[in-house]
Amino acid sequence: MTAAVTFLLFLLFPASASLRSDVLVLGDADFDYLASEHDTMLVKFYAPWCGHCKKLAPEFEKAAGKLKGSVQLAKVDCTSQVDTCSRFDVSGYPTLKIFRNGRDSGSYDGPRSAEGICRYMTKQTGPDSARLLSDEDLQTFVRHYDVSVVGVFSGEESSGLVDFVKAAGLLRDQFRFAHTTQMKLAVPYGLQSEGVLLFRPPRLANRFEDSVVVFRDCVTIPSLRRFIRGHVFGLCPHMTLENKDRLRVRDLLTAFYNLDYEHNGRGSNYWRNRVMKVASKYAGRGLSFSVANQKDFRAELEGEFGVGMSDSGDVPVVTVRTKAGHKYAMREEFTRDGTSLERFLDQYFAGRLKRYIKSEPVPDRNEGAVQVAVAETFDAVVNQPAKDVLIQFYSPSCLHCKKLEPVYTALAETLSSDANVVIAKMNAVDNDVPPSYDVRGYPTIYLAPAGRKDEPVRYEGGRELLDFLRFLRRQAGRSDVKQEL
């Protein structure tokens, strides 16, 4: 076909070029056949009407293009390919699963951005643990953006190597693994016998901690898992959108600024070194430290901490988020000598800091049948010890919430004569939701039972008046309330 003809076809059928996709479409008839042709494949099980699926679609498409040739991305429409989705126990949308040579090897639990999908799935290619034969192999492997875990063993039959490779298969979605039987490669790092070397990313090298951590104990899957998780992040890791959930299992201080290791590694470490200097003075007191790119977390800082962002991001913004969900922000400007950060930490550990709570204004009047709770009044409305409180978390833009409103109001009016039952609601978009309430969609409804406020009961029933009344009859904390209902 000549170039002229090709150009003419493009002019006549421009849509065909834009509709071309790198995402493989699979169905009941060809799933097994096509999936078995790929060493590693990420499959999205979806429904066309699903809002989360629509949001994921363009990111999934971008990732498919970037991973083309190494990892195949595919999709299955569960509204038409029912047998396949049933076979793989798909119960919600979107569901993402990783397949190896056509076999289901587990759920995909990684990020949903194109960049995150690429980074996560790149780790899924190749062997669970790379084999290193020379020092050149070792240096090439550890010069990486992420942590590198290298096992050193006396031979291929070593029991430690067997467990190391098994652990690599279980943890490869989080960490990079390699191994060698050339034990002399570990001597420069102080390891004379079998063991494991954990290499922190070269870009995070600093004078406050070792860049290489040595594990000398017997290598088993549990011991290796504990070692990696205990040392992988170091004194002050780089928090990203992909690893934030793993870092936030502890009380965490984060300095947000114009961090960019790709284009300005030296400038990125300028403020990190100052955070680390202070962090080293407070080690062992139950608070972890990290740094992050301010732009990545801009919406979170402004929405969840009430912190205004500067356009330049030259000076760090500092926050603390505890594992219980309490939030604090340093209002004083970060000084280059770190004294302002030390003052902030002294106040934090002394319990003198005021928690930041995102809350709508307290209503002037709260006389409706449905009580309105905001973050500032949540305890007063919901955590009344002697009352059973049904609390609905809603979004002002949620159509399902609007549809529920007349039924919910009727419920409140039906029970208005019972002083021991409260029907309440809270705008979960503009108010902080307490950590004990898992709100991922709207509306989400819980009962905070009398005498058991720390054990809220999630409502999973129908949306009619009688459904709510039956639920309260079953779950109400006191027998007299049950009788009244």
Q: Which residue among 85, 118, 236, 401 is the active-site one?
A: 401
8, exposed or middle or buried, with CB in 10 Å at 0-12, 13-18, 19+?
A: exposed
Query: Which tokens sit at 307?
Result: 């912190």
Q: What is the DSSP letter of 383?
A: -
Residue type, 466: L
Q: Which residue has the tokens 């205004």?
A: 308
Q: Is 53 a catalytic residue?
A: yes
Distance CA 152, CA 467 (A): 62
Distance CA 151, CA 161 (A): 7
Residue 285 vs residues 42, 273, 355: alpha-carbon distances, Å: 42, 19, 19
270, exposed or middle or buried, with CB in 10 Å at 0-12, 13-18, 19+?
A: middle
Q: Is 398 a catalytic residue?
A: yes
**3-class state of residue 320 by DSSP:** strand
Query: Which tokens sit at 326?
Result: 């309490």
Nearest Cα to Cα of residue 233 among 301, 292, 321, 297: 292
Q: Is 401 a catalytic residue?
A: yes
CB-CB contact of 333 with 377 (8 Å) = no
User: Element (H or E) spanning 257, and its range?
Assistant: strand 252-257
CB-CB contact of 81 with 26 (8 Å) = yes
**3-class state of residue 269 by DSSP:** helix
Q: Which residue among 53, 78, 85, 118 is the active-site one?
A: 53
> Across 272-366, where does the E strand assignment appear?
288-293, 317-321, 327-329
> Across 47-205, where does the E strand assignment appear?
72-77, 95-100, 103-107, 130-131, 148-152, 176-180, 195-199
User: Element (H or E) spanning 89, and its range?
Assistant: none
DSSP notation for 193-257:
SSEEEEEPPGGG--SSS-SEEEE-S---HHHHHHHHHHHSS-SS-EE-TTTHHHHTTS-EEEEEE
Distance CA 160, CA 9 (A): 61
Residues identified as active-site: 50, 53, 398, 401
